[in-house]
A = this chain, B = another copy of it.
Protein backbone atom coordinates (compact mmCIF):
# COMPACT_ATOMS: atom_id res chain seq x y z
CA UNK A 1 0.00 0.00 0.00
CA UNK A 2 3.01 2.28 -0.11
CA UNK A 3 1.83 3.98 -3.27
CA UNK A 4 -1.24 5.14 -1.39
CA UNK A 5 0.31 7.60 1.03
CA UNK A 6 -2.78 9.55 2.06
CA UNK A 7 -5.42 6.92 2.67
CA UNK A 8 -2.82 4.48 4.00
CA UNK A 9 -1.33 5.20 7.42
CA UNK A 10 1.81 3.02 7.63
CA UNK A 11 1.33 2.35 11.35
CA UNK A 12 -2.05 0.69 10.84
CA UNK A 13 -0.86 -2.93 10.35
CA UNK A 14 1.43 -2.81 13.39
CA UNK A 15 -1.23 -1.31 15.65
CA UNK A 16 -3.91 -3.67 14.38
CA UNK A 17 -1.69 -6.66 15.08
CA UNK A 18 -0.79 -5.29 18.50
CA UNK A 19 -4.47 -4.81 19.34
CA UNK A 20 -5.32 -8.33 18.27
CA UNK A 21 -2.50 -9.69 20.42
CA UNK A 22 -3.74 -7.77 23.43
CA UNK A 23 -7.42 -8.51 23.13
CA UNK A 24 -7.01 -12.22 22.47
CA UNK A 25 -4.21 -12.94 24.89
CA UNK A 26 -5.26 -10.91 27.88
CA UNK A 27 -8.98 -10.72 27.43
CA UNK A 28 -11.19 -13.15 29.27
CA UNK A 29 -14.86 -12.21 29.16
CA UNK A 30 -15.44 -13.96 32.47
CA UNK A 31 -13.03 -11.62 34.20
CA UNK A 32 -15.28 -8.70 33.30
CA UNK A 33 -18.35 -7.71 35.20
CA UNK A 34 -21.31 -9.51 33.63
CA UNK A 35 -23.20 -6.36 32.91
CA UNK A 36 -23.11 -5.03 36.43
CA UNK A 37 -21.02 -2.00 35.71
CA UNK A 38 -23.51 0.02 33.87
CA UNK A 39 -25.50 0.48 37.01
CA UNK A 40 -22.86 0.50 39.70
CA UNK A 41 -20.48 2.74 37.82
CA UNK A 42 -23.08 4.80 36.02
CA UNK A 43 -21.81 8.06 37.44
CA UNK A 44 -18.23 7.36 36.40
CA UNK A 45 -19.45 6.38 33.02
CA UNK A 46 -21.38 9.52 32.34
CA UNK A 47 -18.04 11.24 32.64
CA UNK A 48 -16.36 9.34 29.81
CA UNK A 49 -15.01 12.24 27.85
CA UNK A 50 -12.85 11.51 24.81
CA UNK A 51 -10.37 14.10 23.60
CA UNK A 52 -12.00 16.68 21.35
CA UNK A 53 -11.34 16.52 17.60
CA UNK A 54 -8.05 18.36 17.08
CA UNK A 55 -7.05 20.79 14.33
CA UNK A 56 -3.71 19.01 13.93
CA UNK A 57 -3.76 15.21 13.92
CA UNK A 58 -2.03 13.34 16.70
CA UNK A 59 -0.09 10.05 16.57
CA UNK A 60 -2.13 6.98 15.66
CA UNK A 61 -0.72 4.94 18.56
CA UNK A 62 -1.85 7.55 21.05
CA UNK A 63 -5.35 7.91 19.59
CA UNK A 64 -5.73 4.14 19.29
CA UNK A 65 -4.83 3.68 22.95
CA UNK A 66 -7.45 6.23 23.93
CA UNK A 67 -10.06 4.56 21.73
CA UNK A 68 -9.44 1.23 23.48
CA UNK A 69 -9.65 2.89 26.90
CA UNK A 70 -12.94 4.56 26.01
CA UNK A 71 -14.51 1.38 24.62
CA UNK A 72 -13.51 -0.59 27.71
CA UNK A 73 -16.12 1.39 29.63
CA UNK A 74 -18.91 -0.25 27.67
CA UNK A 75 -20.83 -3.17 29.10
CA UNK A 76 -19.81 -6.64 28.12
CA UNK A 77 -22.96 -8.23 26.71
CA UNK A 78 -21.17 -11.40 25.68
CA UNK A 79 -20.21 -12.41 29.21
CA UNK A 80 -21.62 -15.92 29.78
CA UNK A 81 -23.39 -14.59 32.86
CA UNK A 82 -24.99 -11.65 31.11
CA UNK A 83 -28.64 -12.73 31.06
CA UNK A 84 -30.30 -9.34 30.54
CA UNK A 85 -32.34 -8.21 27.54
CA UNK A 86 -31.19 -10.33 24.59
CA UNK A 87 -27.44 -10.82 25.14
CA UNK A 88 -24.87 -10.38 22.37
CA UNK A 89 -22.71 -13.52 22.45
CA UNK A 90 -20.74 -12.83 19.27
CA UNK A 91 -18.32 -15.46 17.98
CA UNK A 92 -14.73 -14.41 17.39
CA UNK A 93 -15.08 -15.87 13.88
CA UNK A 94 -17.83 -13.35 13.13
CA UNK A 95 -15.40 -10.59 14.09
CA UNK A 96 -12.72 -12.07 11.81
CA UNK A 97 -15.15 -12.23 8.90
CA UNK A 98 -15.95 -8.57 9.38
CA UNK A 99 -12.28 -7.58 9.69
CA UNK A 100 -11.66 -9.16 6.29
CA UNK A 101 -14.80 -7.77 4.66
CA UNK A 102 -14.14 -4.24 5.87
CA UNK A 103 -10.56 -4.34 4.61
CA UNK A 104 -11.85 -4.95 1.07
CA UNK A 105 -14.77 -2.58 1.70
CA UNK A 106 -16.88 -3.73 -1.25
CA UNK A 107 -19.83 -1.63 -2.43
CA UNK A 108 -22.29 -4.37 -1.58
CA UNK A 109 -25.22 -2.91 -3.43
CA UNK A 110 -25.33 -4.77 -6.71
CA UNK A 111 -24.07 -7.89 -8.46
CA UNK A 112 -22.00 -6.14 -11.12
CA UNK A 113 -19.81 -4.17 -8.71
CA UNK A 114 -19.61 -6.78 -5.97
CA UNK A 115 -20.18 -10.28 -7.27
CA UNK A 116 -18.24 -11.81 -4.36
CA UNK A 117 -20.09 -10.08 -1.54
CA UNK A 118 -23.36 -10.62 -3.45
CA UNK A 119 -22.81 -14.35 -3.91
CA UNK A 120 -22.06 -14.71 -0.18
CA UNK A 121 -25.21 -12.80 0.71
CA UNK A 122 -27.35 -14.87 -1.60
CA UNK A 123 -25.96 -18.07 -0.14
CA UNK A 124 -26.63 -16.98 3.43
CA UNK A 125 -30.18 -15.87 2.53
CA UNK A 126 -30.90 -19.14 0.70
CA UNK A 127 -29.60 -21.13 3.65
CA UNK A 128 -31.81 -19.17 6.05
CA UNK A 129 -34.91 -19.55 3.84
CA UNK A 130 -34.27 -23.29 3.68
CA UNK A 131 -33.80 -23.48 7.46
CA UNK A 132 -37.03 -21.57 8.05
CA UNK A 133 -38.84 -23.84 5.60
CA UNK A 134 -39.68 -21.05 3.15
CA UNK A 135 -39.73 -23.13 0.00
CA UNK A 136 -41.41 -20.90 -2.60
CA UNK A 137 -39.42 -20.85 -5.86
CA UNK A 138 -39.06 -17.04 -5.78
CA UNK A 139 -38.09 -16.82 -2.11
CA UNK A 140 -35.40 -14.36 -1.21
CA UNK A 141 -34.35 -11.73 1.25
CA UNK A 142 -31.71 -9.22 2.19
CA UNK A 143 -29.35 -8.41 5.05
CA UNK A 144 -30.02 -5.24 7.05
CA UNK A 145 -28.49 -3.68 10.15
CA UNK A 146 -30.80 -5.17 12.78
CA UNK A 147 -34.25 -6.37 13.78
CA UNK A 148 -35.80 -2.91 13.63
CA UNK A 149 -34.75 -2.48 10.01
CA UNK A 150 -35.80 -6.06 9.23
CA UNK A 151 -39.28 -5.41 10.61
CA UNK A 152 -39.43 -2.10 8.71
CA UNK A 153 -38.41 -3.80 5.47
CA UNK A 154 -40.88 -6.67 5.81
CA UNK A 155 -43.75 -4.41 6.81
CA UNK A 156 -43.00 -1.96 3.97
CA UNK A 157 -43.33 -4.90 1.57
CA UNK A 158 -46.61 -5.74 3.30
CA UNK A 159 -47.97 -2.20 2.94
CA UNK A 160 -46.87 -1.89 -0.69
CA UNK A 161 -48.41 -5.24 -1.51
CA UNK A 162 -51.81 -4.57 0.05
CA UNK A 163 -52.36 -0.81 0.56
CA UNK A 164 -52.48 1.91 -2.10
CA UNK A 165 -50.68 5.07 -0.88
CA UNK A 166 -53.94 7.02 -0.59
CA UNK A 167 -55.49 4.30 1.57
CA UNK A 168 -52.79 4.33 4.26
CA UNK A 169 -55.01 6.09 6.81
CA UNK A 170 -57.49 3.16 6.59
CA UNK A 171 -54.85 0.44 6.93
CA UNK A 172 -54.82 -1.81 10.01
CA UNK A 173 -52.13 -4.11 11.42
CA UNK A 174 -52.57 -6.69 14.19
CA UNK A 175 -50.00 -7.21 16.94
CA UNK A 176 -50.17 -8.23 20.60
CA UNK A 177 -49.18 -6.77 23.96
CA UNK A 178 -46.00 -8.82 23.67
CA UNK A 179 -44.96 -7.60 20.21
CA UNK A 180 -41.56 -5.88 20.21
CA UNK A 181 -41.53 -2.08 20.25
CA UNK A 182 -39.56 -2.01 16.98
CA UNK A 183 -42.69 -3.20 15.16
CA UNK A 184 -44.64 -0.18 16.40
CA UNK A 185 -41.74 2.07 15.42
CA UNK A 186 -41.62 0.57 11.92
CA UNK A 187 -45.38 0.96 11.50
CA UNK A 188 -45.18 4.58 12.59
CA UNK A 189 -42.46 5.25 10.00
CA UNK A 190 -44.74 3.60 7.42
CA UNK A 191 -47.53 5.99 8.37
CA UNK A 192 -49.83 3.33 9.83
CA UNK A 193 -52.07 4.72 12.55
CA UNK A 194 -54.32 1.72 13.24
CA UNK A 195 -52.23 -0.75 15.22
CA UNK A 196 -54.33 -3.26 17.10
CA UNK A 197 -52.57 -4.42 20.26
CA UNK A 198 -54.41 -7.63 21.03
CA UNK A 199 -54.53 -9.25 24.49
CA UNK A 200 -52.59 -12.51 24.83
CA UNK A 201 -53.40 -15.89 26.35
CA UNK A 202 -51.95 -17.24 29.61
CA UNK A 203 -48.74 -18.20 27.81
CA UNK A 204 -48.40 -14.66 26.33
CA UNK A 205 -49.34 -15.77 22.79
CA UNK A 206 -51.66 -14.24 20.23
CA UNK A 207 -55.19 -15.73 20.36
CA UNK A 208 -56.56 -16.65 16.93
CA UNK A 209 -60.18 -16.17 18.01
CA UNK A 210 -59.40 -12.68 19.28
CA UNK A 211 -57.53 -11.93 16.06
CA UNK A 212 -60.51 -13.07 13.95
CA UNK A 213 -62.92 -10.90 15.90
CA UNK A 214 -60.64 -7.87 15.55
CA UNK A 215 -60.28 -8.31 11.79
CA UNK A 216 -64.01 -8.76 11.33
CA UNK A 217 -64.79 -5.70 13.47
CA UNK A 218 -62.35 -3.54 11.49
CA UNK A 219 -63.73 -4.70 8.17
CA UNK A 220 -67.24 -3.89 9.39
CA UNK A 221 -65.97 -0.38 10.26
CA UNK A 222 -64.80 0.09 6.67
CA UNK A 223 -61.14 -0.10 7.57
CA UNK A 224 -58.47 -1.96 5.60
CA UNK A 225 -56.81 -4.79 7.55
CA UNK A 226 -53.63 -5.69 5.67
CA UNK A 227 -51.10 -7.46 7.89
CA UNK A 228 -50.65 -9.56 11.00
CA UNK A 229 -47.37 -9.60 12.94
CA UNK A 230 -46.72 -12.92 14.62
CA UNK A 231 -43.80 -13.21 17.02
CA UNK A 232 -41.45 -16.17 16.96
CA UNK A 233 -39.88 -15.75 20.40
CA UNK A 234 -41.08 -12.76 22.41
CA UNK A 235 -38.46 -10.74 24.26
CA UNK A 236 -40.29 -11.01 27.57
CA UNK A 237 -40.92 -14.74 27.80
CA UNK A 238 -39.67 -16.51 24.65
CA UNK A 239 -43.26 -17.36 23.65
CA UNK A 240 -44.04 -18.21 20.05
CA UNK A 241 -47.41 -17.13 18.68
CA UNK A 242 -49.59 -19.87 17.10
CA UNK A 243 -48.05 -19.16 13.70
CA UNK A 244 -49.93 -21.86 11.82
CA UNK A 245 -53.32 -20.64 13.01
CA UNK A 246 -52.36 -17.04 12.21
CA UNK A 247 -51.30 -18.11 8.72
CA UNK A 248 -54.75 -19.71 8.25
CA UNK A 249 -56.45 -16.44 9.14
CA UNK A 250 -54.09 -14.48 6.87
CA UNK A 251 -55.04 -16.82 4.03
CA UNK A 252 -58.74 -16.47 4.78
CA UNK A 253 -58.69 -12.65 4.91
CA UNK A 254 -55.89 -12.12 2.36
CA UNK A 255 -53.60 -10.44 4.89
CA UNK A 256 -49.80 -10.27 4.78
CA UNK A 257 -48.21 -12.50 7.42
CA UNK A 258 -45.04 -10.99 8.90
CA UNK A 259 -43.09 -12.95 11.51
CA UNK A 260 -40.81 -11.13 13.94
CA UNK A 261 -38.25 -13.80 14.69
CA UNK A 262 -35.44 -11.40 15.61
CA UNK A 263 -34.49 -13.47 18.63
CA UNK A 264 -36.51 -16.67 18.27
CA UNK A 265 -36.07 -17.26 14.56
CA UNK A 266 -33.12 -19.47 15.52
CA UNK A 267 -35.53 -21.96 17.09
CA UNK A 268 -36.00 -23.35 13.56
CA UNK A 269 -32.42 -24.63 13.79
CA UNK A 270 -32.99 -26.38 17.12
CA UNK A 271 -34.63 -29.61 18.16
CA UNK A 272 -37.67 -27.44 19.11
CA UNK A 273 -38.31 -26.55 15.49
CA UNK A 274 -41.88 -27.83 15.80
CA UNK A 275 -42.65 -24.96 18.21
CA UNK A 276 -42.25 -22.59 15.25
CA UNK A 277 -44.58 -24.53 12.99
CA UNK A 278 -46.24 -22.14 10.55
CA UNK A 279 -43.26 -19.81 10.25
CA UNK A 280 -42.66 -21.31 6.80
CA UNK A 281 -46.00 -19.85 5.69
CA UNK A 282 -44.94 -16.25 6.35
CA UNK A 283 -44.82 -13.62 3.62
CA UNK A 284 -41.88 -11.99 5.40
CA UNK A 285 -39.72 -12.77 8.42
CA UNK A 286 -37.20 -10.82 10.49
CA UNK A 287 -34.34 -12.89 11.95
CA UNK A 288 -31.28 -11.38 13.60
CA UNK A 289 -27.75 -12.59 13.08
CA UNK A 290 -26.45 -10.60 16.04
CA UNK A 291 -28.62 -12.40 18.55
CA UNK A 292 -28.96 -16.18 18.46
CA UNK A 293 -26.69 -16.66 15.44
CA UNK A 294 -23.74 -15.28 17.40
CA UNK A 295 -22.76 -12.41 15.08
CA UNK A 296 -21.32 -9.00 15.88
CA UNK A 297 -23.79 -6.14 15.84
CA UNK A 298 -25.25 -4.78 12.66
CA UNK A 299 -26.56 -7.97 11.03
CA UNK A 300 -30.14 -9.13 10.56
CA UNK A 301 -32.02 -10.89 7.79
CA UNK A 302 -35.35 -10.24 6.14
CA UNK A 303 -36.67 -13.30 4.38
CA UNK A 304 -39.60 -13.19 1.98
CA UNK A 305 -41.74 -15.73 0.20
CA UNK A 306 -41.53 -13.70 -3.02
CA UNK A 307 -38.56 -11.44 -3.66
CA UNK A 308 -40.63 -9.48 -6.17
CA UNK A 309 -42.42 -8.01 -3.13
CA UNK A 310 -39.14 -6.44 -2.00
CA UNK A 311 -38.30 -5.20 -5.48
CA UNK A 312 -41.78 -3.73 -5.91
CA UNK A 313 -41.32 -1.83 -2.64
CA UNK A 314 -37.77 -0.59 -2.95
CA UNK A 315 -36.72 -0.38 -6.60
CA UNK A 316 -36.71 2.89 -8.47
CA UNK A 317 -38.74 1.38 -11.28
CA UNK A 318 -40.71 -1.70 -12.16
CA UNK A 319 -38.53 -2.90 -15.02
CA UNK A 320 -36.82 -5.52 -12.85
CA UNK A 321 -39.97 -7.35 -11.89
CA UNK A 322 -40.19 -9.48 -14.97
CA UNK A 323 -36.85 -11.12 -14.28
CA UNK A 324 -37.49 -11.40 -10.58
CA UNK A 325 -40.80 -13.12 -11.06
CA UNK A 326 -39.30 -15.43 -13.60
CA UNK A 327 -36.62 -16.31 -11.06
CA UNK A 328 -33.92 -16.21 -13.69
CA UNK A 329 -32.01 -13.23 -12.35
CA UNK A 330 -30.60 -12.10 -9.04
CA UNK A 331 -31.96 -8.62 -8.45
CA UNK A 332 -29.55 -6.02 -7.15
CA UNK A 333 -29.60 -5.44 -3.40
CA UNK A 334 -30.19 -1.71 -3.78
CA UNK A 335 -33.55 -2.60 -5.33
CA UNK A 336 -34.53 -4.98 -2.52
CA UNK A 337 -34.16 -2.94 0.65
CA UNK A 338 -34.12 0.56 2.08
CA UNK A 339 -30.36 1.10 1.55
CA UNK A 340 -28.38 1.92 -1.60
CA UNK A 341 -24.71 1.87 -0.53
CA UNK A 342 -24.39 -0.99 1.96
CA UNK A 343 -21.55 -2.56 3.90
CA UNK A 344 -20.90 -6.24 3.10
CA UNK A 345 -22.70 -7.92 5.98
CA UNK A 346 -22.69 -11.49 4.70
CA UNK A 347 -18.99 -12.45 5.08
CA UNK A 348 -18.99 -12.78 8.86
CA UNK A 349 -22.13 -14.95 8.97
CA UNK A 350 -20.88 -17.01 6.03
CA UNK A 351 -17.52 -17.60 7.75
CA UNK A 352 -19.27 -18.57 10.99
CA UNK A 353 -21.60 -21.01 9.25
CA UNK A 354 -18.73 -22.51 7.24
CA UNK A 355 -16.58 -23.18 10.29
CA UNK A 356 -19.25 -24.06 12.84
CA UNK A 357 -21.43 -26.09 10.47
CA UNK A 358 -25.16 -26.47 10.82
CA UNK A 359 -25.04 -29.52 13.10
CA UNK A 360 -22.91 -27.82 15.72
CA UNK A 361 -25.00 -24.66 15.37
CA UNK A 362 -28.11 -26.66 16.23
CA UNK A 363 -26.34 -28.11 19.24
CA UNK A 364 -25.32 -24.64 20.43
CA UNK A 365 -28.92 -23.42 20.25
CA UNK A 366 -30.21 -26.59 21.92
CA UNK A 367 -27.66 -26.08 24.66
CA UNK A 368 -28.96 -22.55 25.31
CA UNK A 369 -32.44 -24.00 25.68
CA UNK A 370 -31.20 -26.76 28.02
CA UNK A 371 -29.45 -24.40 30.40
CA UNK A 372 -32.63 -22.31 30.71
CA UNK A 373 -34.52 -25.49 31.54
CA UNK A 374 -31.89 -26.56 34.03
CA UNK A 375 -32.11 -23.16 35.73
CA UNK A 376 -35.90 -23.42 35.88
CA UNK A 377 -35.65 -26.83 37.53
CA UNK A 378 -32.96 -25.86 40.05
CA UNK A 379 -34.36 -22.47 41.07
CA UNK A 380 -37.56 -24.10 42.28
CA UNK A 381 -35.63 -25.62 45.20
CA UNK A 382 -34.80 -22.10 46.45
CA UNK A 383 -37.13 -21.00 49.21
CA UNK A 384 -38.99 -17.80 48.43
CA UNK A 385 -38.66 -18.08 44.65
CA UNK A 386 -41.37 -19.18 42.27
CA UNK A 387 -41.42 -19.59 38.51
CA UNK A 388 -43.65 -17.15 36.61
CA UNK A 389 -43.10 -18.48 33.08
CA UNK A 390 -41.25 -21.76 32.66
CA UNK A 391 -38.18 -22.01 30.43
CA UNK A 392 -39.46 -21.16 26.98
CA UNK A 393 -36.72 -21.45 24.38
CA UNK A 394 -33.96 -19.55 26.17
CA UNK A 395 -36.03 -17.40 28.54
CA UNK A 396 -37.23 -18.03 32.11
CA UNK A 397 -39.01 -15.61 34.43
CA UNK A 398 -39.33 -16.00 38.19
CA UNK A 399 -40.20 -13.91 41.22
CA UNK A 400 -39.79 -13.46 44.94
CA UNK A 401 -43.42 -12.36 44.94
CA UNK A 402 -42.42 -8.81 45.79
CA UNK A 403 -41.32 -6.10 43.36
CA UNK A 404 -38.90 -4.37 45.72
CA UNK A 405 -37.30 -7.70 46.58
CA UNK A 406 -36.97 -8.68 42.90
CA UNK A 407 -35.29 -5.38 42.05
CA UNK A 408 -32.98 -5.62 45.06
CA UNK A 409 -32.01 -9.19 44.18
CA UNK A 410 -31.17 -8.29 40.58
CA UNK A 411 -29.20 -5.28 41.73
CA UNK A 412 -27.29 -7.36 44.28
CA UNK A 413 -26.36 -9.92 41.62
CA UNK A 414 -25.14 -7.20 39.30
CA UNK A 415 -23.28 -5.20 41.94
CA UNK A 416 -21.43 -8.27 43.11
CA UNK A 417 -20.56 -9.30 39.57
CA UNK A 418 -22.45 -12.54 39.92
CA UNK A 419 -24.81 -12.18 36.97
CA UNK A 420 -26.33 -9.58 34.69
CA UNK A 421 -30.02 -9.95 35.53
CA UNK A 422 -32.83 -7.37 35.30
CA UNK A 423 -36.56 -7.39 35.91
CA UNK A 424 -39.47 -6.94 33.50
CA UNK A 425 -43.25 -6.65 33.78
CA UNK A 426 -45.74 -9.43 33.00
CA UNK A 427 -49.49 -8.99 33.51
CA UNK A 428 -48.72 -5.81 35.40
CA UNK A 429 -46.42 -7.59 37.85
CA UNK A 430 -42.66 -7.25 38.23
CA UNK A 431 -40.67 -10.43 37.54
CA UNK A 432 -37.01 -11.43 37.26
CA UNK A 433 -35.91 -12.55 33.81
CA UNK A 434 -33.08 -14.68 32.40
CA UNK A 435 -32.17 -14.99 28.70
CA UNK A 436 -29.55 -17.70 28.21
CA UNK A 437 -28.54 -17.60 24.55
CA UNK A 438 -24.79 -17.60 25.12
CA UNK A 439 -23.33 -20.95 24.03
CA UNK A 440 -20.65 -20.45 26.70
CA UNK A 441 -23.10 -20.96 29.55
CA UNK A 442 -22.46 -24.32 31.18
CA UNK A 443 -24.57 -26.47 33.47
CA UNK A 444 -22.09 -25.59 36.22
CA UNK A 445 -22.75 -21.88 35.61
CA UNK A 446 -26.45 -22.39 36.13
CA UNK A 447 -26.06 -24.54 39.23
CA UNK A 448 -23.66 -22.02 40.74
CA UNK A 449 -26.02 -19.18 39.86
CA UNK A 450 -28.89 -20.83 41.72
CA UNK A 451 -26.70 -21.18 44.81
CA UNK A 452 -25.61 -17.55 44.47
CA UNK A 453 -29.23 -16.44 44.26
CA UNK A 454 -30.04 -18.43 47.39
CA UNK A 455 -27.19 -16.73 49.27
CA UNK A 456 -28.05 -13.29 47.87
CA UNK A 457 -31.66 -13.58 49.04
CA UNK A 458 -30.41 -13.93 52.61
CA UNK A 459 -28.22 -10.85 52.33
CA UNK A 460 -30.38 -8.29 50.57
CA UNK A 461 -31.73 -5.55 52.80
CA UNK A 462 -35.03 -3.89 52.03
Interface residues of A (CB under 8 A from B): 1-9, 12-13, 15-17, 19-21, 23-25, 27-30, 38-39, 42, 45-46, 48-60, 63-64, 66-68, 70-75, 77-78, 80, 88-93, 95-108, 111-120, 123-124, 127, 145-149, 152, 156, 159, 165-166, 168-169, 181-182, 184-186, 188-193, 288, 290, 294, 296-298, 313-314, 316, 338-344, 347, 350-351, 353-360, 364, 438-440
Contact = CB atoms under 8 A, between A and B. Distances in A.
Contacts of A354: 51, 53-54, 57-58, 63, 66
Contacts of A117: 70-71, 74
Contacts of A192: 165
A67 B100 contact: yes
A75 B8 contact: no
B6 A58 contact: no
A22 to B, nearest CB: 10
Contact of A145 (B46, B66, B343, B356): B343
Given A6-B440, A97-B67, A114-B74, A297 B342 contact: yes
A191 B188 CA distance: 10
A364 B190 contact: no
B338 A105 contact: no
A125 B28 CA distance: 33
A159 to B, nearest CB: 8
Given A57-B360, A92-B1, A112-B42, A340 B182 contact: yes
A13 B5 contact: no
